[in-house]
Copies of this chain bind each other. A is one copy, B any other.
Amino acid sequence: MLSTEPSTPLVVLDLLGIFVFAIAGALVAVRKNLDVFGVLVLAGITGLGGGVLRDVLIGRTPPAALVDWRYLAVPLVAGMVAFVYHPALGKVEPSINVLDAFGLGLFCVTGAQKALDAGLGPAPAALLGMVTGIGGGVMRDVLAGRVPAVFRGDLYAIPALAGAIVVVVGSYLDSVPFAVVAFTGGGLCIVWRLLAIWRHWQAPVPTGPASV
């Protein structure tokens, strides 16, 4: 989503990230046999949901996604592309997952920064950075009738939280420029997420029998 003073390159990056997230969301909808409307909604929710949730929680309404029409147009296009070309897209899904990691790295950084800009403390800002990155996917999974993938071992949220924490810590280091902090945080998230995909890292599950 847009930074407080969005520069053109950042907006382009932001829209690219939303596009990738939206493609991933639309593919979930296709696999669940949803209709064209469901595909478009899941594309939009996955691409924009995390940022909208963050904006509502920090009281920044209407959310950025409802102020700039390009934020609605991008998931619409992504959803239509996925609706038509899903067999081809499904075959290159490993590549989509790699691009998705870049989107995650971007959103955890911009999300944490916006929460700091809104005056939130360090712990909530880091949390909202992570929420910006993963919130859309969680909503997508709930709407598609499945338990969110981020709760089932997929190492996705913890890299996003780590990236957001870097941004929060960096904001207290006056001597370090924001660009350095942003690249460090985003890079940490992206590298960790890519390693998790590559090495099949999983988040730990509880051990021992669950009482009923």
CB-contact partner of A57 in B33, B62, B144, under 8 A: B62
Question: Does A35 interact with chain B (Cβ within 8 Å)?
Answer: yes
Query: A86's closest neighbor in chain B, by CB?
Result: B206
Residues from chain B with a CB closer than 8 A to the CB of A204 are 35-36
The answer to whether A211 and B90 have CB atoms under 8 Å apart is yes
Interface size class of A (residues with CB under 8 A): 35 or more
- A203: shortest Cβ distance to chain B, in Å? 4
Q: How far is the CA of A29 from the CA of B127 in the complex (A)?
A: 20
The answer to whether B69 and A61 have CB atoms under 8 Å apart is no
Within 8 A of B (CB), among A25-56: 27, 29-39, 41-42, 52, 56
Q: Beyond the given A34-B151, A72-B123, A72-B127, could you list 15 further A-B residue pairs with CB under 8 A, ordered by the A residue number? A: A30-B206, A35-B151, A36-B203, A38-B147, A38-B148, A38-B150, A38-B152, A39-B206, A62-B120, A66-B128, A69-B122, A73-B123, A90-B210, A142-B143, A145-B146
**Chain A residues within 8 Å of B, Cβ to Cβ:** 27, 29-39, 41-42, 52, 56-59, 61-63, 66-67, 69, 72-73, 83, 86-87, 89-91, 93, 118, 120-124, 127-128, 138, 142-148, 150-153, 157-158, 202-206, 208-212
